[in-house]
Amino acid sequence: MVKCPRCGYENSPSSVYCDNCAYRLADAEGNRINNSQRQSSWNMGLGKKIVIVLGIIVVAFLLFSFVYNNTQPSYQDSLNVITDDGSNYQTSSYPYKAVIKYDGSWYAEMGDPNYLVKESGYGNKSFVLDCAAWDKIAIDAQKQDSGEGNLTVQLLKNGEVVDEKSTANASSHLVINYNY
């Protein structure tokens, strides 16, 4: 007996068509038609499909994160102030340098007034300012301790002092505004 895949009727083994619904059971030569579902490479459970798709998404996310993090500048690369020991030649692309002289602890904000960079330190330091020749320059410095010495702030342009201020007062601010 041959069971019809459409209606389930039991037909005789020699039947080409189903006696109940006329569904074709054999071809012209009498070969039985295989009505089973086709096998495909994507024929797997829903759970496996979800795991594969999630795995692809996770790998893509990790790859994107790795590429993104390796193309971003580091914290040190993104600072606007470059510490200078004075041994390097001052280039004309950044002509300004701030020099702070004090034998103690100090705090300063310097650079373009709209984008001041905050620095604190101890002792004498110099900083190349990320400002063009036509930019406004602001420096605000103060002592962080009650030391007796003078706090001196100099603004240099192409190696020459263009403004200098000094104080011995522990609570006062030294302010230099240039190109205003």
- Total domain count, the chain: 2
The DSSP-derived string for 33-73 is P--SPPP-TT-S-HHHHHHHHHHHHHHHHHHHHHHHHHHSP
Q: Name the band, by pLDDT with cuts 50, 70 and 90, for residue 33.
A: low
* pLDDT at 43 (0 to 100): 65
Same domain, 95 and 170: yes
DSSP string, 78-105: G-SEEEE-S-SPPPTTS-EEEEEE-SSE
Cα(110)–Cα(129) distance, integer angstroms: 8
Note whether residue 59 is domain-resident: no
- Give pLDDT, residue 119: 92
Same domain, 27 and 114: no
Average model confidence (pLDDT) across the chain:
82
Count of positions (residues) in the chain: 180
pLDDT of residue 87: 56
pLDDT at 166: 92
Clarify whether residues 83 and 172 are in a common domain.
yes
Q: Quote the percentage of the chain above a pLDDT of 70.
A: 79
